[in-house]
Chains A and B, each alone.
Chain A
Amino acid sequence: MFRSGARRDHDSGPAPEALRLVKVTKSYGTADSAVTALDGVTLGLARGTFTAVMGPSGSGKSTLLQCAAGLDRPDSGIVRVDGKELTGGGEAELTKFRRGRIGFVFQQYNLLETLTVAQNTVLPLKLAGRRVDRRRAREVLTAVGLGDRLRHRPGQLSGGQRQRVAIARALVTEPRVIFADEPTGALDTRSAREVLTLLQQTVRVHGRTVVMVTHDPVAASYADSVLFLADGRLAGRMDAPTADAVAERLAHLGDDMTAGV
């Protein structure tokens, strides 16, 4: 994973701001039955930060992640990943934009059942037509604790192990931002802790940027800061969060609304 210096010199160099959203709006449905999922969200995340996005169901967390990660296009507003603006285009163009810039970790892992652990890990490189460095893939998998499972298939692994494969897959392309969507939602507490520690390490030790959507205050407490979202708007921010403080704040999120950000 976890090589940072040497490789950096080759590319244009990362922008100081890993992610920037300006007045991003997104609604679903048509005219009269439209639901506003994101209502003018503006935020910026510095490189090398670990941010949790929290909010009740329907607050627009997932939409925010999808718009910021180039999985969906906002109705209006600007999304900039690593200083590069996400512009219009079809799915193929969005995909090409995401390659190399963005890595994903999902609640349901989304590993391909027909591929082994090692093959799953190098799949993004294969698809992007980049050189596949098997030694490095092995390094990354060893670093997430799966060096002895290279030839296993996802079906033979536990949930926690699968999620660690997903993290390895997200890391191997050296993306500018890693988006994690409820990464511990399907895991037991011990596996969840391992996965969260792993995400934390990628930021603290290796300087990557991680954005994690979660509804679990304990998971959020692993982040450097927490952004609260309610009804499609930012509803506050908390630095150096603890699980209790996050839970408390979440419980009173409705009250904060009038006070604004």
Chain B
Amino acid sequence: MFVLALRSIRQRPGRFLATLLSAFLGTAIIMTFNSMHDTAGQPGVDAVSSDTLATSAGVVGGYGTLLVFFAVASTLTVNVRQRAAELELLRCSGATPAQIKRMVVGEAVAVALVGAALAIGPAMLGGRVLLEMFQDGGQVARSVEYSFGPIALASGVSITLLAAAGAAFLAVRRVTRRRRERAGARRFLAYGALAAGAAGVCSTFLFSATDEMLMAPAAQGTIMLSVGFALLSPRLLKGLLDRLALSGASGWLAVRNLRQRAAELAGILVSLIMFTAVSTATITMQAVESDAVAASGLVKSVDAKNLETLNLTVVGIVTVFVCVMLVNSLYAATTYRSREFGQQRLAGATPGQVLGVVGAEGAILTVAGVFFGTLAGLAGVVPFTVVRTDGVIPDQFLGTWLAMAAVAAAVTLGTSLFTARRVLRTPAVLAVVQVA
């Protein structure tokens, strides 16, 4: 089966591009930050430098792992879903579920391995730049030499491979088992995440205004809340759609399409909610913190500086990953609808009306995702601001929120409309007979 896996990759390298890209980016980030462990572990590094390096490696490395798993899982799920027909064919030709599983997992591991190998070079460069950043900021002594060692290499490769294998396993199991959604477990997880998020956000009030850790519970709470909302998103979306009446044929179709496809769109909503929540909350809180420090006339400590660097890095990573995930899943989902678009056109829809449907769907998704993301983000920002300053909603919030919502809308609408336009180039009569 592994030979078949390799062959199937060679025939269609394009389909694995998204998985390769997320494996590559993920490994690069994990290796970059984990090489700080290697650097800190060298003999003769002083305690402060070593501390800075280890913290940054720990925090961002942890984030990175989570994100690699999410991103690879999302791209692989899309990939496996698109190939449902091919997998069905294999099953009909006598492949056992275990064989199909081995093939898909084998493909994923092979692609992840290539991604990880490609990431080594950029990660070494990135690590060097990161170390210089720390040194320029005075957080790490000038004498510390960069080192890219076993920790970076082993963690990067193993985490990516594990994530790929695990994600592929889960994705193919969902397909071969023929959709038996365990709604109960999902809801339990969702409420668990929401409860944990609420607890984290509320625990902000237990800290004092000048605690260095003040931002942590709020940020973690925001993340947990957005995970909870994301898990509940299919139901939330359905609730929203039942109350939504759009005028015009395009809007009418869009609402009905989304109602039926709510479960499939969960992946896109996850990305949108996480992106809005994490980026808005982190950037706003960091701005509040910096202003508060400036107002008090104090000079930032090394730890505070570390935290700022980390925060901005985390936001950067989240943004890049979520964009990759969003673009990939929207591109795949829209390409996959070629036949459906053809059917709409044969039923009398002009290309403009089809684009109208896609646009309306994208707009509804963006609004829903940004709305719940904002909720989760505000849940973190407000307690932090109340404790840190006298206000409730900081001045910086609106600007940040607007910028992030604009990015979310641009990526969502841009990808779906651009892809739909390309898909519409196929004549309708051909589109309905082609197997996507």
Chain A residues proximal to chain B, CB less than 8 Å: 66, 71-72, 90-92, 95-96, 98-99, 104, 106, 108, 110-115, 119, 123-124, 126-129, 169, 173
Name the CB-closest residue of B to A108: B432
Task: Give 14 new A-B contacts, CB below 8 A, not counting A115-B253, A173-B348.
Answer: A66-B429, A71-B429, A72-B427, A91-B345, A91-B351, A95-B349, A104-B346, A106-B346, A112-B343, A124-B348, A126-B249, A126-B253, A127-B347, A127-B349
- CA A154 – CA B433 in complex, angstroms? 17
Say yes or no: A169 contacts B427, CB within 8 Å.
no
Check A110/B429 contact, CB under 8 A, given A127-B249, A129-B249. Answer: no
What are the residues of chain A within 8 A of B286 when measuring CB–CB?
A: none
Say yes or no: B345 contacts A95, CB within 8 Å.
yes
Say yes or no: B252 contacts A126, CB within 8 Å.
yes
Say yes or no: B260 contacts A113, CB within 8 Å.
yes
Check A72/B429 contact, CB under 8 A, given A91-B350, A96-B350, A127-B353. Answer: yes
Top 4 A-B pairs, shortest CB-CB distance: A114-B260, A92-B350, A127-B348, A124-B348
What are the residues of chain B within 8 A of A127 when measuring CB–CB?
A: 249, 344, 347-350, 353
Say yes or no: B347 contacts A113, CB within 8 Å.
no
Is the CB of B121 closer than 8 A to any CB of chain A? no
Is the CB of B210 closer than 8 A to any CB of chain A? no
Give 13 A-B contacts (CB < 8 Å), ordered by A residue.
A72-B429, A91-B350, A92-B352, A95-B345, A108-B433, A112-B344, A114-B259, A114-B260, A114-B261, A126-B249, A127-B344, A127-B349, A169-B347
- CA A126 – CA B261 in complex, angstroms? 21
Say yes or no: B249 contacts A110, CB within 8 Å.
no
Is the CB of B86 closer than 8 A to any CB of chain A? no
CB B40 to nearest CB in A, in angstroms, measures 55
Name the CB-closest residue of B to A153: B260
Name the CB-closest residue of B to A102: B348
| The residue from A96, A104, A114 contacting B257, defined by CB atoms under 8 A apart | A114
Check A110/B346 contact, CB under 8 A, given A127-B249, A129-B249. Answer: yes
| The residue from A90, A111, A173 contacting B343, defined by CB atoms under 8 A apart | A111
What are the residues of chain A within 8 A of B346 when measuring CB–CB?
A: 71, 104, 106, 110
- CA A99 – CA B348 in complex, angstroms? 6
Binary flags per residue of B246-261, CB closer than 8 Å to A gives 1, else 0: 0001001100110111
CB A3 to nearest CB in B, in angstroms, measures 21
- CA A92 – CA B351 in complex, angstroms? 6
- CA A123 – CA B257 in complex, angstroms? 13
- CA A224 – CA B352 in complex, angstroms? 39
Chain B residues proximal to chain A, CB less than 8 Å: 249, 252-253, 256-257, 259-261, 340, 342-353, 427-429, 432-433
- CA A99 – CA B345 in complex, angstroms? 11
CB B257 to nearest CB in A, in angstroms, measures 5
Say yes or no: B252 contacts A110, CB within 8 Å.
no
| The residue from A71, A96, A108 contacting B428, defined by CB atoms under 8 A apart | A71
What are the residues of chain A within 8 A of B342 when measuring CB–CB?
A: 110
Say yes or no: B345 contacts A123, CB within 8 Å.
no
What are the residues of chain B within 8 A of A72 when measuring CB–CB?
A: 427, 429
Say yes or no: A110 contacts B432, CB within 8 Å.
yes
Say yes or no: B352 contacts A123, CB within 8 Å.
no
Name the CB-closest residue of A to B432: A110
What are the residues of chain B within 8 A of A99 when measuring CB–CB?
A: 348
What are the residues of chain B within 8 A of A95 when measuring CB–CB?
A: 345, 348-351
| The residue from B340, B344, B348, B429 contacting A128, defined by CB atoms under 8 A apart | B348
- CA A106 – CA B430 in complex, angstroms? 12
| The residue from A71, A91, A124 contacting B347, defined by CB atoms under 8 A apart | A124
What are the residues of chain B within 8 A of A106 when measuring CB–CB?
A: 346, 432
What are the residues of chain A within 8 A of B429 when measuring CB–CB?
A: 66, 71-72
CB A158 to nearest CB in B, in angstroms, measures 19
Say yes or no: A113 contacts B427, CB within 8 Å.
no
- CA A149 – CA B429 in complex, angstroms? 28
Name the CB-closest residue of B to A123: B347
What are the residues of chain B within 8 A of A119 when measuring CB–CB?
A: 256
What are the residues of chain A within 8 A of B432 when measuring CB–CB?
A: 106, 108, 110
What are the residues of chain A within 8 A of B427 when measuring CB–CB?
A: 71-72
What are the residues of chain A within 8 A of B428 when measuring CB–CB?
A: 71, 91
- CA A206 – CA B26 in complex, angstroms? 65
What are the residues of chain B within 8 A of A112 when measuring CB–CB?
A: 340, 343-344, 347
What are the residues of chain A within 8 A of B259 when measuring CB–CB?
A: 114
Check A123/B350 contact, CB under 8 A, given A108-B433, A110-B432. Answer: no
| The residue from A90, A108, A115, A123 contacting B348, defined by CB atoms under 8 A apart | A123
- CA A129 – CA B257 in complex, angstroms? 19
What are the residues of chain A within 8 A of B256 when measuring CB–CB?
A: 114-115, 119
- CA A106 – CA B432 in complex, angstroms? 10
CB B59 to nearest CB in A, in angstroms, measures 43
CB A81 to nearest CB in B, in angstroms, measures 15
Name the CB-closest residue of A to B342: A110
What are the residues of chain A within 8 A of B260 when measuring CB–CB?
A: 113-114
What are the residues of chain B within 8 A of A113 when measuring CB–CB?
A: 260, 340
What are the residues of chain A within 8 A of B249 when measuring CB–CB?
A: 126-127, 129
CB B242 to nearest CB in A, in angstroms, measures 15
Q: Considering residues B345, B347, B429, which has the most beta carbons from chain A within 10 angstroms of its beta carbon?
A: B347
- CA A169 – CA B348 in complex, angstroms? 11
- CA A95 – CA B346 in complex, angstroms? 8
What are the residues of chain B within 8 A of A115 when measuring CB–CB?
A: 253, 256
Check A98/B343 contact, CB under 8 A, given A72-B427, A114-B260, A129-B249. Answer: no
Name the CB-closest residue of A to B349: A127
Name the CB-closest residue of A to B257: A114
What are the residues of chain A within 8 A of B343 when measuring CB–CB?
A: 110-112
- CA A125 – CA B106 in complex, angstroms? 49
Name the CB-closest residue of A to B353: A127
What are the residues of chain A within 8 A of B353 when measuring CB–CB?
A: 127
- CA A128 – CA B347 in complex, angstroms? 10
- CA A91 – CA B429 in complex, angstroms? 12
- CA A112 – CA B344 in complex, angstroms? 7
What are the residues of chain B within 8 A of A104 when measuring CB–CB?
A: 346
CB A133 to nearest CB in B, in angstroms, measures 16
What are the residues of chain B within 8 A of A108 when measuring CB–CB?
A: 432-433
What are the residues of chain A within 8 A of B252 when measuring CB–CB?
A: 126
CB A245 to nearest CB in B, in angstroms, measures 31
Q: Considering residues A112, A127, A129, which has the most beta carbons from chain B within 10 angstroms of its beta carbon?
A: A127
